[in-house]
Amino acid sequence: MSLNPTLEGTKKIDESKQGNVFFQEQENTVKPADAKHFYIESYGCQMNFSDSEIVASILGEVGYHPTRNMEESDLILINTCSIREKAEDTVRKRLRVFDKVKARRPGTLVGVLGCMAERLKAKFLEQEKLVDMVVGPDAYRDLPNLLSSANEGDKGVNVLLSREETYADISPLRLNSNGVTAFISIMRGCDNMCSFCVVPFTRGRERSRNVFSIIAEATDLFHKGFREVTLLGQNVDSFKWTNPETQEMVNFAQLLEMVALVHPDLRIRFSTSHPKDITDEVLHTIAKYENICNYIHLPVQSGNSRVLKLMNRTYDREWYKERVEAIYKIIPDCAISSDMITGFCTETEEEHQDTLTMMEFAKYSMSYMFFYSERPGTLAGRKYDDDIPLEVKKRRLAEVVELQTSISHDLNQKDIGQTFKVLIEGDSKRSDQDFKGRNSQNKMIIFPKQAGLVAGDYVQVKVREATSATLIGNIV
Protein backbone atom coordinates (compact mmCIF):
# COMPACT_ATOMS: atom_id res chain seq x y z
CA MET A 1 0.00 0.00 0.00
CA SER A 2 1.64 3.20 -1.09
CA LEU A 3 1.51 6.28 -3.23
CA ASN A 4 -0.69 8.18 -0.81
CA PRO A 5 -3.97 6.41 -1.48
CA THR A 6 -7.37 7.86 -0.62
CA LEU A 7 -8.99 5.01 1.25
CA GLU A 8 -11.68 3.77 3.57
CA GLY A 9 -11.04 4.68 7.16
CA THR A 10 -8.29 7.04 6.10
CA LYS A 11 -7.34 10.01 8.21
CA LYS A 12 -4.52 12.19 7.06
CA ILE A 13 -3.04 15.51 7.98
CA ASP A 14 -2.84 16.94 4.47
CA GLU A 15 -4.95 17.99 1.54
CA SER A 16 -6.90 15.09 -0.01
CA LYS A 17 -7.74 14.10 -3.54
CA GLN A 18 -10.69 11.81 -3.92
CA GLY A 19 -12.89 11.36 -6.92
CA ASN A 20 -11.17 14.13 -8.83
CA VAL A 21 -12.69 15.14 -12.13
CA PHE A 22 -9.93 15.55 -14.65
CA PHE A 23 -10.29 18.33 -17.17
CA GLN A 24 -8.10 20.66 -19.10
CA GLU A 25 -9.13 23.52 -21.34
CA GLN A 26 -7.61 23.15 -24.78
CA GLU A 27 -6.43 26.71 -25.27
CA ASN A 28 -6.38 28.07 -28.83
CA THR A 29 -7.95 24.84 -30.08
CA VAL A 30 -11.05 25.00 -32.26
CA LYS A 31 -13.16 21.92 -31.75
CA PRO A 32 -15.26 20.65 -34.65
CA ALA A 33 -19.01 20.90 -34.16
CA ASP A 34 -19.20 17.09 -34.10
CA ALA A 35 -16.24 16.65 -31.73
CA LYS A 36 -16.55 13.86 -29.22
CA HIS A 37 -16.05 14.49 -25.52
CA PHE A 38 -14.92 12.35 -22.64
CA TYR A 39 -15.39 12.83 -18.91
CA ILE A 40 -13.12 11.04 -16.43
CA GLU A 41 -13.06 10.64 -12.66
CA SER A 42 -10.11 9.17 -10.77
CA TYR A 43 -10.02 7.55 -7.36
CA GLY A 44 -7.19 6.24 -5.23
CA CYS A 45 -3.45 6.73 -5.44
CA GLN A 46 -1.35 9.20 -7.38
CA MET A 47 -0.55 6.51 -9.93
CA ASN A 48 -4.23 6.47 -10.93
CA PHE A 49 -4.19 10.21 -11.48
CA SER A 50 -1.06 9.84 -13.59
CA ASP A 51 -2.68 7.00 -15.56
CA SER A 52 -5.70 9.18 -16.30
CA GLU A 53 -3.37 11.65 -18.02
CA ILE A 54 -2.04 8.83 -20.20
CA VAL A 55 -5.62 7.78 -21.03
CA ALA A 56 -6.49 11.38 -21.95
CA SER A 57 -3.52 11.52 -24.33
CA ILE A 58 -4.53 8.28 -26.04
CA LEU A 59 -8.14 9.46 -26.39
CA GLY A 60 -6.95 12.77 -27.81
CA GLU A 61 -5.26 10.90 -30.64
CA VAL A 62 -8.64 9.50 -31.75
CA GLY A 63 -10.53 12.78 -31.56
CA TYR A 64 -11.91 12.88 -28.01
CA HIS A 65 -11.76 16.16 -26.05
CA PRO A 66 -12.00 16.41 -22.24
CA THR A 67 -15.05 17.94 -20.60
CA ARG A 68 -16.05 18.57 -17.00
CA ASN A 69 -19.74 18.17 -17.89
CA MET A 70 -20.71 14.51 -17.99
CA GLU A 71 -24.09 15.49 -19.50
CA GLU A 72 -22.37 16.44 -22.76
CA SER A 73 -19.92 13.54 -22.81
CA ASP A 74 -19.89 10.71 -25.34
CA LEU A 75 -17.65 8.66 -23.07
CA ILE A 76 -17.65 8.52 -19.27
CA LEU A 77 -14.70 6.84 -17.57
CA ILE A 78 -13.95 6.06 -13.95
CA ASN A 79 -10.39 5.16 -12.95
CA THR A 80 -10.74 2.87 -9.99
CA CYS A 81 -8.99 1.90 -6.78
CA SER A 82 -9.41 -1.58 -5.37
CA ILE A 83 -7.40 -1.23 -2.20
CA ARG A 84 -10.36 -0.79 0.17
CA GLU A 85 -13.95 -2.02 0.10
CA LYS A 86 -15.36 1.48 0.50
CA ALA A 87 -13.54 2.59 -2.66
CA GLU A 88 -15.34 -0.14 -4.57
CA ASP A 89 -18.69 0.87 -3.06
CA THR A 90 -18.06 4.44 -4.16
CA VAL A 91 -17.40 3.31 -7.72
CA ARG A 92 -20.66 1.35 -7.83
CA LYS A 93 -22.58 4.42 -6.68
CA ARG A 94 -20.96 6.54 -9.35
CA LEU A 95 -21.74 3.95 -12.03
CA ARG A 96 -25.42 4.17 -11.15
CA VAL A 97 -25.22 7.94 -11.60
CA PHE A 98 -23.56 7.44 -14.99
CA ASP A 99 -26.29 4.96 -15.93
CA LYS A 100 -28.88 7.71 -15.52
CA VAL A 101 -26.83 9.96 -17.80
CA LYS A 102 -26.81 7.19 -20.40
CA ALA A 103 -30.60 6.99 -20.18
CA ARG A 104 -30.84 10.72 -20.88
CA ARG A 105 -28.16 10.64 -23.57
CA PRO A 106 -28.44 7.44 -25.65
CA GLY A 107 -25.19 6.36 -27.21
CA THR A 108 -23.00 7.48 -24.31
CA LEU A 109 -20.47 4.82 -23.35
CA VAL A 110 -19.32 4.07 -19.81
CA GLY A 111 -15.99 2.43 -19.00
CA VAL A 112 -14.21 1.23 -15.88
CA LEU A 113 -10.44 1.63 -15.86
CA GLY A 114 -7.72 0.63 -13.44
CA CYS A 115 -7.36 -1.67 -10.49
CA MET A 116 -10.96 -2.87 -10.15
CA ALA A 117 -11.14 -3.85 -13.81
CA GLU A 118 -9.77 -7.40 -13.66
CA ARG A 119 -11.32 -8.44 -10.36
CA LEU A 120 -14.86 -7.20 -10.98
CA LYS A 121 -15.20 -7.31 -14.77
CA ALA A 122 -17.84 -10.06 -14.73
CA LYS A 123 -19.99 -8.23 -12.19
CA PHE A 124 -19.80 -4.94 -14.06
CA LEU A 125 -20.43 -6.39 -17.51
CA GLU A 126 -22.78 -9.32 -16.95
CA GLN A 127 -24.47 -9.10 -13.56
CA GLU A 128 -24.95 -5.37 -13.02
CA LYS A 129 -24.71 -4.37 -16.71
CA LEU A 130 -23.50 -0.91 -15.79
CA VAL A 131 -20.58 -0.54 -18.19
CA ASP A 132 -19.65 -0.95 -21.84
CA MET A 133 -15.91 -1.29 -21.36
CA VAL A 134 -13.53 -2.68 -18.75
CA VAL A 135 -9.87 -1.77 -19.23
CA GLY A 136 -6.97 -2.79 -17.00
CA PRO A 137 -3.95 -0.59 -16.16
CA ASP A 138 -1.74 -2.17 -18.83
CA ALA A 139 -4.32 -2.06 -21.66
CA TYR A 140 -4.88 1.65 -22.22
CA ARG A 141 -3.25 1.55 -25.67
CA ASP A 142 -6.14 -0.71 -26.71
CA LEU A 143 -8.75 1.95 -25.88
CA PRO A 144 -9.38 2.99 -29.53
CA ASN A 145 -10.13 -0.63 -30.49
CA LEU A 146 -12.30 -1.17 -27.43
CA LEU A 147 -14.23 2.01 -28.20
CA SER A 148 -14.91 0.78 -31.72
CA SER A 149 -16.21 -2.53 -30.36
CA ALA A 150 -18.40 -0.80 -27.79
CA ASN A 151 -19.82 1.59 -30.38
CA GLU A 152 -20.82 -1.44 -32.44
CA GLY A 153 -22.71 -2.92 -29.51
CA ASP A 154 -20.07 -5.34 -28.24
CA LYS A 155 -18.49 -5.17 -24.82
CA GLY A 156 -14.92 -3.90 -24.85
CA VAL A 157 -12.71 -5.84 -22.43
CA ASN A 158 -8.95 -5.95 -21.99
CA VAL A 159 -7.55 -6.62 -18.54
CA LEU A 160 -4.36 -8.40 -19.52
CA LEU A 161 -1.32 -7.51 -17.44
CA SER A 162 2.02 -6.88 -19.09
CA ARG A 163 5.64 -7.43 -18.11
CA GLU A 164 6.84 -4.70 -20.46
CA GLU A 165 4.27 -1.88 -20.65
CA THR A 166 5.45 1.44 -19.18
CA TYR A 167 3.78 3.94 -21.59
CA ALA A 168 7.23 5.53 -21.91
CA ASP A 169 6.51 6.91 -25.38
CA ILE A 170 3.18 8.56 -24.50
CA SER A 171 3.18 12.22 -23.53
CA PRO A 172 0.51 12.58 -20.80
CA LEU A 173 -2.16 15.22 -21.22
CA ARG A 174 -1.83 17.28 -18.02
CA LEU A 175 -5.40 17.27 -16.80
CA ASN A 176 -6.69 19.64 -14.14
CA SER A 177 -3.16 21.03 -14.08
CA ASN A 178 -2.04 24.09 -12.16
CA GLY A 179 0.83 24.41 -14.65
CA VAL A 180 3.35 24.20 -11.80
CA THR A 181 3.43 20.62 -10.49
CA ALA A 182 3.23 17.35 -12.40
CA PHE A 183 3.60 13.59 -11.95
CA ILE A 184 6.11 11.48 -13.87
CA SER A 185 5.58 7.73 -13.71
CA ILE A 186 9.01 6.04 -13.59
CA MET A 187 7.89 2.42 -13.12
CA ARG A 188 4.80 0.24 -12.95
CA GLY A 189 3.71 -2.77 -10.94
CA CYS A 190 5.11 -4.19 -7.73
CA ASP A 191 7.08 -7.30 -6.74
CA ASN A 192 6.53 -6.83 -3.00
CA MET A 193 3.86 -9.32 -1.97
CA CYS A 194 2.64 -7.52 1.15
CA SER A 195 -0.03 -9.81 2.53
CA PHE A 196 -2.70 -7.08 2.79
CA CYS A 197 -2.20 -5.53 -0.64
CA VAL A 198 -3.88 -6.15 -4.01
CA VAL A 199 -1.47 -4.07 -6.10
CA PRO A 200 0.67 -6.98 -7.41
CA PHE A 201 -2.53 -8.64 -8.63
CA THR A 202 -4.08 -5.54 -10.18
CA ARG A 203 -0.96 -3.84 -11.59
CA GLY A 204 1.29 -6.78 -12.28
CA ARG A 205 5.02 -7.30 -11.93
CA GLU A 206 7.47 -4.47 -11.42
CA ARG A 207 9.16 -2.93 -14.46
CA SER A 208 11.15 0.27 -14.78
CA ARG A 209 10.80 2.86 -17.50
CA ASN A 210 13.47 3.93 -19.97
CA VAL A 211 15.63 6.56 -18.23
CA PHE A 212 15.98 8.74 -21.32
CA SER A 213 12.20 9.04 -21.68
CA ILE A 214 11.95 10.13 -18.03
CA ILE A 215 14.59 12.81 -18.47
CA ALA A 216 12.95 13.96 -21.72
CA GLU A 217 9.57 14.28 -19.98
CA ALA A 218 11.07 16.23 -17.07
CA THR A 219 12.90 18.54 -19.47
CA ASP A 220 9.77 19.12 -21.54
CA LEU A 221 7.75 19.94 -18.42
CA PHE A 222 10.34 22.46 -17.27
CA HIS A 223 10.35 24.18 -20.65
CA LYS A 224 6.54 24.38 -20.47
CA GLY A 225 6.77 26.25 -17.16
CA PHE A 226 6.36 23.44 -14.65
CA ARG A 227 8.62 23.81 -11.64
CA GLU A 228 8.04 20.62 -9.67
CA VAL A 229 7.81 16.95 -10.66
CA THR A 230 6.97 13.95 -8.51
CA LEU A 231 8.54 10.68 -9.63
CA LEU A 232 5.98 7.93 -9.10
CA GLY A 233 6.28 4.20 -8.51
CA GLN A 234 4.85 1.64 -6.13
CA ASN A 235 8.41 1.26 -4.83
CA VAL A 236 10.71 3.85 -6.39
CA ASP A 237 13.80 2.68 -4.51
CA SER A 238 13.81 -0.60 -6.46
CA PHE A 239 13.99 1.27 -9.79
CA LYS A 240 16.47 -0.49 -12.08
CA TRP A 241 16.85 0.14 -15.79
CA THR A 242 19.52 -1.40 -17.98
CA ASN A 243 20.67 0.45 -21.08
CA PRO A 244 20.27 -2.11 -23.88
CA GLU A 245 23.19 -0.61 -25.82
CA THR A 246 25.79 -0.27 -23.07
CA GLN A 247 24.36 -2.78 -20.54
CA GLU A 248 24.90 -0.16 -17.83
CA MET A 249 22.36 -0.28 -15.04
CA VAL A 250 20.78 2.89 -13.62
CA ASN A 251 19.43 2.74 -10.06
CA PHE A 252 17.08 5.14 -8.32
CA ALA A 253 19.81 7.29 -6.75
CA GLN A 254 21.37 7.79 -10.19
CA LEU A 255 18.00 8.59 -11.75
CA LEU A 256 17.31 11.16 -9.02
CA GLU A 257 20.60 12.88 -9.80
CA MET A 258 19.89 12.89 -13.54
CA VAL A 259 16.49 14.54 -13.02
CA ALA A 260 17.97 17.05 -10.56
CA LEU A 261 20.47 18.09 -13.23
CA VAL A 262 17.71 18.98 -15.71
CA HIS A 263 17.62 22.43 -14.11
CA PRO A 264 18.28 23.76 -10.58
CA ASP A 265 14.85 25.45 -10.61
CA LEU A 266 13.06 22.15 -11.21
CA ARG A 267 12.09 20.77 -7.83
CA ILE A 268 11.94 16.96 -7.45
CA ARG A 269 9.81 14.83 -5.17
CA PHE A 270 9.20 11.07 -5.25
CA SER A 271 6.81 8.49 -3.88
CA THR A 272 6.81 5.85 -2.52
CA SER A 273 9.88 4.47 -0.71
CA HIS A 274 10.00 0.99 0.78
CA PRO A 275 11.98 0.71 4.03
CA LYS A 276 13.78 -2.42 2.86
CA ASP A 277 15.11 -0.71 -0.27
CA ILE A 278 15.89 2.93 0.55
CA THR A 279 19.68 3.21 0.55
CA ASP A 280 22.22 5.63 1.95
CA GLU A 281 23.14 6.39 -1.67
CA VAL A 282 19.62 7.77 -2.21
CA LEU A 283 19.86 9.80 1.01
CA HIS A 284 23.24 11.28 0.08
CA THR A 285 21.89 12.20 -3.37
CA ILE A 286 18.99 14.06 -1.74
CA ALA A 287 21.42 15.88 0.55
CA LYS A 288 23.66 16.80 -2.40
CA TYR A 289 21.05 18.64 -4.48
CA GLU A 290 19.05 21.60 -3.16
CA ASN A 291 16.26 20.98 -5.69
CA ILE A 292 15.58 17.42 -4.46
CA CYS A 293 13.06 17.97 -1.69
CA ASN A 294 13.91 17.04 1.88
CA TYR A 295 10.85 14.88 2.25
CA ILE A 296 10.47 11.09 2.24
CA HIS A 297 7.27 9.09 2.42
CA LEU A 298 8.34 5.91 4.24
CA PRO A 299 5.33 3.69 5.07
CA VAL A 300 5.78 1.72 8.28
CA GLN A 301 2.30 0.04 8.34
CA SER A 302 2.94 -1.29 11.88
CA GLY A 303 5.49 -0.63 14.58
CA ASN A 304 5.53 -4.26 15.74
CA SER A 305 7.91 -6.84 14.29
CA ARG A 306 5.51 -9.80 14.56
CA VAL A 307 2.74 -7.92 12.77
CA LEU A 308 5.22 -6.72 10.14
CA LYS A 309 6.16 -10.35 9.49
CA LEU A 310 2.49 -11.27 9.08
CA MET A 311 2.20 -8.37 6.64
CA ASN A 312 5.23 -9.74 4.73
CA ARG A 313 6.89 -6.34 4.86
CA THR A 314 10.38 -8.00 4.93
CA TYR A 315 11.78 -5.69 7.60
CA ASP A 316 11.33 -5.48 11.36
CA ARG A 317 10.97 -2.68 13.88
CA GLU A 318 14.72 -2.28 14.39
CA TRP A 319 15.44 -2.13 10.65
CA TYR A 320 12.87 0.60 10.20
CA LYS A 321 14.22 2.61 13.13
CA GLU A 322 17.75 2.37 11.68
CA ARG A 323 16.48 3.77 8.35
CA VAL A 324 14.77 6.67 10.15
CA GLU A 325 17.97 7.42 12.07
CA ALA A 326 19.95 7.36 8.81
CA ILE A 327 17.55 9.81 7.19
CA TYR A 328 17.81 12.32 10.03
CA LYS A 329 21.61 11.90 10.21
CA ILE A 330 22.25 12.42 6.48
CA ILE A 331 19.42 14.95 5.89
CA PRO A 332 18.92 16.70 9.25
CA ASP A 333 15.99 18.88 8.15
CA CYS A 334 14.18 16.09 6.32
CA ALA A 335 10.49 15.47 6.95
CA ILE A 336 9.21 11.90 7.00
CA SER A 337 5.60 10.83 6.46
CA SER A 338 4.10 7.37 6.70
CA ASP A 339 1.23 4.92 6.22
CA MET A 340 -0.20 2.95 9.12
CA ILE A 341 -2.80 0.18 9.39
CA THR A 342 -4.62 -0.47 12.65
CA GLY A 343 -6.34 -3.72 13.55
CA PHE A 344 -4.43 -6.06 11.24
CA CYS A 345 -5.12 -9.74 11.81
CA THR A 346 -4.34 -10.90 15.39
CA GLU A 347 -2.88 -7.51 16.39
CA THR A 348 -2.86 -7.20 20.19
CA GLU A 349 -3.18 -4.05 22.27
CA GLU A 350 0.52 -4.25 23.11
CA GLU A 351 1.40 -4.48 19.43
CA HIS A 352 -0.84 -1.52 18.68
CA GLN A 353 1.13 0.42 21.31
CA ASP A 354 4.30 -0.39 19.36
CA THR A 355 2.86 1.55 16.42
CA LEU A 356 2.21 4.54 18.67
CA THR A 357 5.74 4.49 20.06
CA MET A 358 7.14 4.19 16.53
CA MET A 359 5.23 7.33 15.59
CA GLU A 360 6.76 9.17 18.51
CA PHE A 361 10.22 7.91 17.56
CA ALA A 362 9.98 8.76 13.85
CA LYS A 363 8.21 12.10 14.38
CA TYR A 364 6.16 11.90 11.20
CA SER A 365 5.20 15.25 9.73
CA MET A 366 1.95 13.68 8.52
CA SER A 367 0.52 10.22 7.91
CA TYR A 368 -2.06 8.30 5.93
CA MET A 369 -3.88 6.19 8.51
CA PHE A 370 -6.29 3.32 7.93
CA PHE A 371 -8.02 0.51 9.71
CA TYR A 372 -7.48 -2.90 8.11
CA SER A 373 -9.87 -3.90 5.35
CA GLU A 374 -9.56 -7.46 4.05
CA ARG A 375 -9.20 -7.68 0.28
CA PRO A 376 -10.18 -10.86 -1.62
CA GLY A 377 -7.28 -12.67 -3.26
CA THR A 378 -4.54 -11.30 -1.01
CA LEU A 379 -2.37 -13.57 1.12
CA ALA A 380 -3.97 -12.17 4.29
CA GLY A 381 -7.44 -12.76 2.82
CA ARG A 382 -6.57 -16.41 2.11
CA LYS A 383 -4.53 -17.30 5.21
CA TYR A 384 -5.54 -15.10 8.13
CA ASP A 385 -8.76 -14.48 9.99
CA ASP A 386 -9.87 -10.86 10.02
CA ASP A 387 -10.44 -11.26 13.73
CA ILE A 388 -10.21 -7.73 15.14
CA PRO A 389 -13.70 -6.27 15.74
CA LEU A 390 -14.50 -3.17 13.70
CA GLU A 391 -15.05 -1.03 16.78
CA VAL A 392 -11.56 -1.98 18.04
CA LYS A 393 -10.02 -1.14 14.65
CA LYS A 394 -11.73 2.24 14.66
CA ARG A 395 -10.76 2.99 18.25
CA ARG A 396 -7.12 2.17 17.52
CA LEU A 397 -7.29 4.30 14.38
CA ALA A 398 -8.67 7.20 16.42
CA GLU A 399 -5.71 6.88 18.81
CA VAL A 400 -3.26 6.92 15.90
CA VAL A 401 -4.98 9.97 14.38
CA GLU A 402 -4.97 11.82 17.70
CA LEU A 403 -1.26 11.15 18.21
CA GLN A 404 -0.37 12.15 14.64
CA THR A 405 -2.33 15.39 14.99
CA SER A 406 -0.39 16.16 18.15
CA ILE A 407 3.00 15.35 16.57
CA SER A 408 2.19 17.39 13.46
CA HIS A 409 1.07 20.33 15.59
CA ASP A 410 4.24 20.27 17.68
CA LEU A 411 6.51 20.01 14.63
CA ASN A 412 4.70 22.88 12.92
CA GLN A 413 4.94 25.05 16.02
CA LYS A 414 8.72 24.66 15.82
CA ASP A 415 8.59 26.14 12.31
CA ILE A 416 7.24 29.46 13.61
CA GLY A 417 9.88 32.11 13.02
CA GLN A 418 11.64 30.00 10.38
CA THR A 419 11.98 31.12 6.76
CA PHE A 420 11.42 28.64 3.92
CA LYS A 421 11.82 28.64 0.17
CA VAL A 422 8.31 28.10 -1.17
CA LEU A 423 7.10 27.28 -4.66
CA ILE A 424 3.86 29.17 -5.36
CA GLU A 425 1.24 26.68 -6.58
CA GLY A 426 -1.70 29.06 -6.91
CA ASP A 427 -4.42 30.71 -4.89
CA SER A 428 -5.31 29.52 -1.42
CA LYS A 429 -8.55 27.55 -1.27
CA ARG A 430 -9.98 29.97 1.29
CA SER A 431 -9.03 33.31 -0.23
CA ASP A 432 -7.91 34.61 -3.59
CA GLN A 433 -5.97 37.25 -1.67
CA ASP A 434 -3.52 34.58 -0.49
CA PHE A 435 -1.12 32.24 -2.24
CA LYS A 436 -0.48 28.65 -1.29
CA GLY A 437 2.71 26.67 -1.81
CA ARG A 438 4.90 24.00 -0.27
CA ASN A 439 8.34 24.08 1.21
CA SER A 440 10.97 21.40 0.65
CA GLN A 441 9.52 19.39 3.54
CA ASN A 442 6.15 19.19 1.73
CA LYS A 443 4.39 21.42 4.24
CA MET A 444 1.64 23.65 2.89
CA ILE A 445 2.21 27.35 3.58
CA ILE A 446 -0.39 30.10 3.11
CA PHE A 447 0.75 33.73 2.70
CA PRO A 448 -0.62 37.06 1.40
CA LYS A 449 -0.08 37.84 -2.26
CA GLN A 450 2.37 40.43 -3.51
CA ALA A 451 2.12 42.23 -6.83
CA GLY A 452 4.17 40.79 -9.64
CA LEU A 453 4.28 37.23 -8.32
CA VAL A 454 2.56 34.31 -10.06
CA ALA A 455 2.22 30.56 -9.70
CA GLY A 456 5.55 28.93 -10.48
CA ASP A 457 7.65 31.60 -8.75
CA TYR A 458 9.86 30.79 -5.78
CA VAL A 459 9.63 33.05 -2.72
CA GLN A 460 11.05 33.17 0.79
CA VAL A 461 8.27 32.94 3.40
CA LYS A 462 8.67 33.48 7.13
CA VAL A 463 6.22 31.46 9.23
CA ARG A 464 4.27 33.47 11.83
CA GLU A 465 1.68 30.89 12.95
CA ALA A 466 0.80 27.25 12.44
CA THR A 467 -1.90 24.61 12.81
CA SER A 468 -1.43 20.84 12.74
CA ALA A 469 -1.91 20.89 8.95
CA THR A 470 -0.80 24.28 7.67
CA LEU A 471 1.85 26.94 8.12
CA ILE A 472 0.89 30.62 7.75
CA GLY A 473 3.41 33.32 6.96
CA ASN A 474 4.55 36.34 4.99
CA ILE A 475 6.94 36.87 2.10
CA VAL A 476 10.26 38.30 3.26
Distances in Å between the Cα of 183 and the Cα atoms of 164, 174, 215 are 20, 9, 13
Name the burial class of residue 14, with classes exposed (0-12), middle (13-18) and buried (19+) by CB atoms within 10 angstroms of its CB. middle
* pLDDT confidence bin for 154, thresholds 50/70/90: confident
Q: Determine phi and psi for 38, rounding to 5 degrees.
A: -125, 150
Predicted confidence band of residue 25 (pLDDT cuts 50, 70, 90): very low
**What's residue 287's pLDDT?**
98
* Fold match between domain 11-158 and domain 181-414: no
pLDDT at 27 over 50: no
Q: Read off the pLDDT of residues 330-368 as tens digits, 9 standing for 90 and up.
A: 999 999 999 999 999 999 999 999 999 999 999 999 999
pTM: 0.89
Hey, where are the domains in the chain?
Answer: 11-158, 181-414, 419-475
Query: Alpha-carbon distance 203 to 189, whole Å?
Result: 5
Confidence of residue 447 (pLDDT cuts 50, 70, 90): very high
What topology is assigned to 181-414 in CATH? pyruvate-formate lyase- activating enzyme (3.80.30)
CATH: 3.40.50.11810, 1.10.645.10, 2.40.50.140, 3.50.50.60. Which one for 419-475? 2.40.50.140
pLDDT category, 8, cuts 50, 70, 90? very low
Kindly report the number of other CB atoms within 10 A of residue 79's CB atom: 29
Lowest mean pLDDT among 135-149, 154-168, 182-196, 276-290: 154-168
Superfamily of domain 11-158: Methylthiotransferase, N-terminal domain (3.40.50.12160)
Nearest to 79 by CA among 159, 20, 34, 152: 20
Q: Could you tell me the strand order of the sheet in which 366-371 lies?
A: 11-12, 366-371, 335-342, 295-297
Q: Phi and psi dihedrals of 304, rounded to 5?
A: -110, 130
Q: Look over the chain and give the mean of its residue pLDDT values, rounded to a whole number.
A: 90
Residue 15 above 60 pLDDT? no
CA separation for the pair 428, 332 (Å, rounded)? 29
